[in-house]
Structure 1
Amino acid sequence: MFIQECKFTTPSMAASVICGSSKAGRTAWNTSSGQAYTDWDAEQVATASSRSYAIGAP
């Protein structure tokens, strides 16, 4: 348990600290629905990439 907020630079670093051994964070972490972080992240990138943005648009 942490007594204050602790930010990690990578999912692997966070998983390693929590588990106490080396872990591949992108596969060690899962969403509440059981989806691996790596799959969730890929979906987020794909969704963001599919959006089109107009420069200067409100």
Structure 2
Amino acid sequence: MKEVIATHSLDEVGKHPDFGSAQATLRWMLIYMVEETAGHVGDLDTRREVLDSEKG
């Protein structure tokens, strides 16, 4: 992953043979991955709070 980020511009548009109409930039893909990870971590934190009855 680091190699991809290091060798490509954040504004470069990704290409995939099965998705010719997709126009996502590397910047968009990285931000999307951070958002998705944050959402899943939030879900896990909520479940942990329910299981151990402690917040924070």
TM-score, normalization by structure 2: 0.46
**Quick check: which has more Rg, 1 or 2?**
2
Which has the larger share of helix?
Answer: 2
Q: Quick one: higher RCO (CA 8 Å, sep 6+), 1 or 2? A: 2
